[in-house]
Structure 1
Amino acid sequence: MDEIAASYQHYFDKGNRVIPLLSIGLACSDPDSPSVRPTESGLRLGSGFEYPFSNGLSLVASGDYTVPADVDETDFIDAFHAEGWAIRLGLR
């Protein structure tokens, strides 16, 4: 297993067909895995939306940024580079 992640998603305005959401979570990656970049472990912040279908299935789309766990406080602003960004699509 390359990564273990857990997140909390907060949904807004559930009365609409498309439900906006914010997410916060933690990701812990295996540093010995050849497919893992160093920026994949850390605090994950994102936003997106959920589009529910009539049969209980939902399409979820979100974008997030993983703040690397190994960044010093002085290097935090320099940490915002392309490797930490991700777009996620899924069915729930």
Structure 2
Amino acid sequence: MGEVAATMKIMPEGVDTDLEDLKSKLEAALPEGASIYGSEVEPVAFGLKALKVVVLVGDLEGGTESVEEAFAAVSGVESVQVTDLGRPV
């Protein structure tokens, strides 16, 4: 089994959401077998910032689905979108 690197754009519920705290909650919510490979903050508009997270998951069928569902259930998350899929470098 190989790994897939999925870049996910996490939109917080508001401008005042603490993105470091949100990242900690996302790490705690990761399903077994998935891990965070990297992250960065991306300005969106009007002071709103998104959290871009690269998650390593197994390349099994439905690979990112469990991570997307886990992240969407975290308090403070407005939406989760996979923006890129590929092999880790």
Q: Structure 1 length normalisation: TM-score?
A: 0.31
Q: Which has the higher contact order (CA 8 A, sep 6+)?
A: 2
Bigger Cα Rg:
1
More strand by share: 1
More helix by share: 2
